């Protein structure tokens, strides 16, 4: 069994790249007292176009890295991984490799928030191809609110545009409109941003959807659900140290991670290292 003894009171946050920083930003705001390690597998992004098997293999390597680094709990900030690999990690990998640690995803908290809101009778979901093809949001939503009308739309061009630094370009706004207007025409009450990168386009998306359609900020909901989870799971041994730390790792170029990452995180990235997590 791998490194059972080295729990170091750390919350790991994993994403295929920079997008998960939009989630970490809210963790640092709502749960500021904890130690965090953020890992972005930028070298192998995008995950959203890859097969479930590859997504699982990559994520297992990331989890090994984070648990070996001492994380008690890993939050998978990536929607694609939450949709395609989370269940298998929880059922196959965790019980044999790290039975006393936990891995959580981002789909459940978002789904619960939508299901709780009585005014929402129909919902749209946008995400990568892998997330939409998995039907993960749809299946979870149907379990909690069978009467909900669900409209899904894969929006695969958005991640590369954001990664290219084209988020504010008129071309991106045009593509957003192409994707979102058909959803809007379906009279949805809310839109789930089912991808880590989309909060970066929050203002533009909100504007296109108009006042009537609720667009929850995913990071806000996920951070609130983490507060609640930590309060209910003292056995994980996560406490708030006197001098909490936040460490960043990327599998690709550090300078790019820092430059772009600070835009996603909204604050300075210190304590950053490049790391190799692949077994290949």
- Write down the least CB distance from residue 229 to ligand DGL, Å: 20
- Closest residue to ligand DGL using C-beta atoms: 48
Specify the length of the chain in residues.
280
Strands 71-76 and 272-274: unpaired
The question of whether 78 is a catalytic residue gets the answer yes
The question of whether 246 is a catalytic residue gets the answer no
Distances from the Cα of 271 to the Cα of 245, 247, 249, angstroms: 9, 5, 9
Q: Which is nearer to ligand DGL, 78 or 113 (CB)?
A: 78
CA distance from start to end of the chain: 21
Q: Which is nearer to ligand DGL, 45 or 110 (CB)?
A: 45
Kindly name the residue from 11, 195, 213, 223 that is annotated as catalytic.
195
Q: Which is nearer to ligand DGL, 33 or 165 (CB)?
A: 165
Q: Do the Cβ atoms of 91 and 125 come closer than 8 Å?
A: no
Kindly name the residue from 11, 62, 63, 78 that is annotated as catalytic.
78
CA distance 263 to 200: 9
Please give the residue ranges that form the binding site for ligand DGL (CB under 6 A).
15-17, 19, 45-48, 78-80, 127-128, 131, 159, 195-197
- Write down the least CB distance from residue 255 to ligand DGL, Å: 20
- Write down the least CB distance from residue 212 to ligand DGL, Å: 26
Q: Which is nearer to ligand DGL, 7 or 60 (CB)?
A: 60
- Write down the least CB distance from residue 107 to ligand DGL, Å: 10
Q: Do the Cβ atoms of 131 and 83 come closer than 8 Å?
A: yes
CA distance 261 to 257: 5
Structure tokens that stand for 75 in this block: 């939050």
- Write down the least CB distance from residue 159 to ligand DGL, Å: 5
Q: Which is nearer to ligand DGL, 81 or 209 (CB)?
A: 81
Structure tokens that stand for 144 in this block: 């909690």
Structure tokens that stand for 173 in this block: 């706004």
- Write down the least CB distance from residue 187 to ligand DGL, Å: 26
Which residue, chain included where needed, has tokens 């600070």?
262
Which residue, chain included where needed, has tokens 């990568």?
128
User: What is the chain's alpha carbon radius of gyration, rounded to the nearest angstrom?
Assistant: 18
Which residue, chain included where needed, has tokens 């019980």?
95
Which residues fall within 8 angstroms of residue 211, CB to CB, at 6 or more apart?
none
Q: At CA 105, angle to CA 48 and CA 67, rounded to 5?
A: 100
Partners of residue 152 on adjacent β-strands: 125
Q: Which is nearer to ligand DGL, 124 or 127 (CB)?
A: 127
Active site residues: 78, 195
């Amino acid at each position: 069994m791998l490194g059972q003894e080295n729990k170091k009171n750390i919350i790991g946050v994993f994403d295929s790249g920079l997008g998960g920083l939009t989630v970490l930003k809210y963790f640092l705001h709502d749960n500021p007292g904890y130690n965090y390690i953020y890992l972005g597998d930028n070298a192998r992004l995008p995950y959203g176009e890859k097969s479930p098997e590859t997504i699982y293999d990559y994520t297992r390597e990331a989890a090994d890295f984070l648990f070996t680094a001492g994380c008690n709990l890993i939050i998978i900030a990536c929607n694609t991984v939450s949709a395609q690999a989370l269940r298998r990690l929880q059922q196959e990998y965790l019980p044999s490799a790290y039975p006393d640690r936990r891995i959580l995803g981002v789909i459940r908290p978002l789904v619960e928030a939508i299901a709780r809101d009585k005014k929402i009778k129909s919902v749209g979901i946008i995400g990568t191809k892998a997330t939409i093809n998995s039907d993960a949001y749809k299946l979870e939503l149907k379990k909690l609110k069978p009467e909900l009308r669900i409209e899904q739309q894969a929006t695969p061009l958005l991640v590369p545009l954001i990664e290219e630094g084209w988020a504010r370009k008129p071309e991106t706004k045009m593509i957003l409109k192409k994707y979102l207007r058909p959803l809007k025409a379906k009279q949805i009450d809310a839109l789930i941003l089912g991808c880590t990168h989309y909060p970066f386009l929050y203002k533009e998306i909100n504007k296109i959807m108009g006042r009537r359609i609720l667009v929850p900020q995913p990071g806000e909901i996920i951070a609130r659900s983490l507060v609640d989870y930590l309060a209910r799971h003292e056995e994980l041994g996560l406490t708030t140290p006197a001098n909490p730390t936040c460490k960043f790792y990327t599998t690709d170029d550090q300078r790019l991670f820092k430059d772009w990452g600070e835009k996603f995180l909204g604050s300075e990235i210190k304590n950053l290292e490049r790391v190799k997590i692949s077994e290949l």
